[in-house]
Chains A and B, each alone.
Chain A
Amino acid sequence: MAEIIQAEGKQKGGKKKAKKFSTHIDMTPMVDLMCLLITFFMLTTAFAKPKAMEITMPEKKDNPNEEAPKIEADRTINILMSGNDQIYYYFGVADPKLPLPDLIKTDYSKDGIRKMLLQRNKTVFKAVSELREKVIKGEEVMADSTLARRIKDLKKSDKNAPIILIKADEKAKYRNIVDIIDEMAITTVANYAVVDISDIELQMINGTAVSAPAPK
């Protein structure tokens, strides 16, 4: 019995002592750890998710003799790209048997190729920007997918919209191709394709192409 009383007495004494202790804990190690973790997450996080532009290439033909689909020459604009960010365009077709079209030199700036594309694609561009403006102003309310479909329909509606053939030679950089495909998106051109460059076009860039005599 005496022992128990003694133990009780001891416990009571302990409790009294504990009250004197401060309730503060040393937080420094925890803060250190949190600092480390924050640094780790800040350095490894990828905030900007990578974007991608989709491009569908014309399917390769099994039969090389099969003819490419015919497109109207007066709607066609050919864009030729070469090294050192050189870019040219011409209208129509370059046929060695016919007089060669004029090759016009331009650049990647907004007064260069974009101006020409906008001029040629005026009707579609106007219609698309009007629609976009209406949506922004709230005059027409539609879901994003509906807007995308409406824009697609508008692009298809113009039967005189240009058809762009994008051709690059071996000296062109990857950046040039992406820039040009991007211009197509900016100027809302619906019909474009990345195709191989022909010999006569290579000669046109080099300035060695010989024009056939004009028919009498």
Chain B
Amino acid sequence: MTPMVDLFALLLTFFMLTTSFRPTEAAVIDTPNSVSEKTAPEKDVITILIDKENKVFLNFDNGQDTAVLIRKEVLKKMAEQYNVTFNEKELKTFSTWASFGMPAEKMKAWINTPDSKDREVFQTGIPIDSTDNQLNLWVRFIRLQNPNAEVAIKGDSDADFKTVKHVMDILQDNQVNKFNLTTNLMKEEAKLEE
């Protein structure tokens, strides 16, 4: 028994030390492959997720400064725009969660749904069409709160380029011209024929 326990203890220590938790995401996204070996930024990043049904989700972090919770401040600003009010508890809850994708009007109901399975129903995507361009407002408010934020686009291989282009246009309207396209590493070799 003792050798087994020893082994378990070793494995446990290894996993505890090397672990970096996989963030929960609003949608399953199968990213395309590329040869890029640059690791994606982890802090100060706005992640825009586009799933294969062209629904847009958003995730952003609270920033390096632990005194200010950026997510909280941004949600407050959005609430002002859409005449919704969030109490302190709701803001706090939102600041600890990850990606989301729903119109701002529905966010209160989403935050107050206790069961995570029921919550998934709300993930219908952030409106990006010109009549109700909520993504634009989100990006603007996040950039105001956190000017260092970089943008990462995590699109599904089967997402339409049209949607991605539209998202990029929205970002460019907010003076973001540099994007990180999240991909899987896949080695490729090229040889010149003589």
A154 CB within 8 Å of chain B = no
User: Chain A CB within 10 Å — which of B33, B37, B38, B192 has the most?
Assistant: B192
List residues of chain B with CB within 8 A of the CB of A31: 1, 4-5, 8
- How far does the Cβ of B111 sit from chain A's closest Cβ, in whole Å? 24
Question: How far is B162's CA from A176's CA once the two chains are assembled, in angstroms?
Answer: 12
Min CB distance B192 to A, Å, is: 6
Interface size, B (range): 35 or more
The CA-CA distance from A6 to B34 in the complex, in Å, is 83
Q: How far is the CB of A130 from chain B (nearest CB, A)?
A: 11
Query: Is the beta-carbon distance between B161 and A176 smaller than 8 angstroms?
Result: yes
Q: What residues on A are CB-neighbors of B34 within 8 Å? A: 51, 53, 178, 181-182, 185
Are A50 and B182 neighbours in the complex by a CB distance under 8 Å?
yes
Q: Which residues of A contact B180 (CB under 8 A)?
A: 52-54
Task: List B77-101 residues whose CB lies under 8 Å from chain A.
Answer: none
Known interface pairs A34-B9, A38-B11, A178-B32. Does A45 touch B37 (Cβ–Cβ under 8 Å)?
Answer: no
Are B32 and A42 touching (Cβ within 8 A)?
A: no
> Chain B residues with Cβ under 8 A from A53's Cβ?
34, 36, 38, 180-181, 183
Check if B178 sits within 8 Å of A55, measured CB to CB: yes
CB contact list, B138-194 vs A, under 8 A: 152, 154-165, 168, 172-173, 177-185, 188, 190, 192-193
Instruction: Tell me whether B15 and A38 are in contact (CB under 8 A).
Output: yes
Across the interface, which residues of A come within 8 angstroms of B178, CB to CB? 54-57
User: Contacts A46-B20, A168-B161, A174-B160 hold; do A51 and B177 have CB atoms under 8 A apart?
Assistant: no
A141 at the interface (CB under 8 A from B): no
Residues of A within 8 A of B1 (CB): 27, 31
Please determine whether B155 and A174 come into contact, CB atoms closer than 8 angstroms. Answer: yes
**Interface set, chain A 1-47, CB cutoff 8 A to B:** 27, 30-31, 34-35, 37-38, 41-42, 44-47
Name the one of B5, B18, B156 contacting A174, with C-beta atoms under 8 angstroms: B156
Segment with Cβ contacts to B, from A66-74, A118-126, A199-207: A118-126
B20 and A51 form a contact (CB under 8 A): no
Decide yes or no whether A177 CB sits under 8 A from chain B: yes
| A41 in contact with B152 (CB, 8 Å) | no
The answer to whether B5 and A51 have CB atoms under 8 Å apart is: no
Q: Would you call B12 and A34 a contact (CB within 8 A)?
A: yes
**A78 proximal to B (CB < 8 A):** no
Contact mask A150-182 → B, CB, 8 Å, 1/0? Answer: 000000000000000000101111111111011
Interface-central residue, A45, A118, A122, A176, by most chain B CB under 10 Å? A45
Q: Are B177 and A49 in contact (CB under 8 A)?
A: no
Complex contacts, B116 vs chain A, CB 8 Å: none
- Whether, in the assembled complex, A216 has its beta carbon less than 8 Å from a beta carbon of chain B, the answer is no
Contact B16 A172 (CB under 8 A): no
Task: Provide the bound-state CA to CA distance between A141 and B179, in Å.
Answer: 32
- Are A174 and B21 in touch, CB under 8 angstroms? no
The 24 sampled A-B contact pairs (Cβ below 8 Å) are A34-B9, A34-B12, A44-B19, A45-B22, A50-B31, A51-B37, A51-B40, A52-B36, A52-B181, A54-B38, A57-B172, A81-B161, A110-B190, A118-B193, A129-B192, A173-B158, A173-B159, A174-B161, A176-B161, A182-B34, A182-B35, A185-B35, A185-B36, A186-B188
Given contacts A46-B21, A53-B181, A170-B161, 20 further A-B contacts (CB under 8 A): A34-B9, A34-B12, A38-B12, A44-B21, A45-B15, A49-B20, A52-B41, A55-B181, A56-B178, A60-B172, A115-B193, A118-B190, A125-B190, A126-B192, A168-B165, A174-B32, A174-B157, A174-B160, A178-B34, A186-B190
